[in-house]
Amino acid sequence: MKIIKYIPDTITCLNLLSGSIAVIFAFRDDFDMALAMIVLAAVFDFLDGMAARALHAYSDIGKELDSLSDTVSFGLAPSLILYNYLDGFPSSCIPPYICYIPLLIAAFSALRLAKFNLDTRQTESFLGLPVPASALFAASLAAFAGHYQYVANTILANSYAIPAVTVVLCALLVSEVPMFSMKLKTLRWKDNAQRFTFLCITIPAAAILLVLKIHWTGIVFTVFAFYIVWNAAAALLRKLLHE
């Protein structure tokens, strides 16, 4: 049936709608719901590719639509979450221009997606930080801090904290640092050793954080902070071993 070929694009549009709703929640200073909508967008982003492969419903329009949706959900939305988070601090704590620095994440995410579309090397893994991981890290940073005033007041209210995070994320987005994808083509350990090891660590760790009654936004932050550190450390180790 012809309708089948539209299923992946429909899921991609749900990604875009979720990101758009995240923007609305960001301007309402409801960072928990904004993060939740980005998580939902990431789920749809994962499912549209799965649906396209399962249904053999690939199209050039689908590829472009996916990038446009990701730019909103994983570029614009987290940028505006951090913008509104910083804008909520008194001007005596943070200079007004600092609030605009996180918007660089939107620009670098778009650049990252444009590079990805033209790079034939990134079929099974990534070169540079994938935009969903960047978005979930950035958005969870603001949401998590909202539940722990000590963190917000002593670290994130520092004029250099969020700009420093922004610079690091932007650099990683367009870097050549190898980062593993969570897409599984087989269930064999040999083909997925790094992915399975990561899951074997993060799933118990997330369960422990739940038992300790850490807010769910903190679990999202921890998982994606660990993902970034894991890949950066692995890349550095490989470089040192080859020198």
The answer, yes or no, to whether residue 37 has pLDDT greater than 60, is: yes
Give the alpha-carbon dihedral of 164, 166, 167, 172, to 10 degrees.
130
Domain boundaries, the chain: 2-180
SS3 at position 158: coil
The answer, yes or no, to whether residue 106 has pLDDT greater than 60, is: yes
Element (H, E) at 111: helix 104-118
Question: Nearest CA to 171 among 92, 111, 91?
Answer: 111
Do 110 and 145 meet the contact criterion of CB atoms below 8 Å apart? Answer: no
Q: What is the DSSP letter of 76?
A: I
Query: Residue 157 has what pLDDT?
Result: 67
122-150 pLDDT, tens digit each: 666 778 899 999 999 999 998 988 787 77
Model confidence at 231, in pLDDT bands (50, 70, 90)? confident
Q: Which residue has the higher pLDDT, 114 or 92?
A: 114
The proportion of the chain whose per-residue pLDDT surpasses 70, expressed as a percent, equals 87
Superfamily of domain 2-180: CDP-alcohol phosphotransferase transmembrane (TM) domain (1.20.120.1760)
Question: Nearest CA to 144 among 227, 35, 22?
Answer: 35
Strand blocks (E) in the chain: 125-127, 178-180
d(CA 176, CA 139): 23
Model confidence at 40, in pLDDT bands (50, 70, 90)? very high
SS3 at position 88: coil
Model confidence at 67, in pLDDT bands (50, 70, 90)? confident
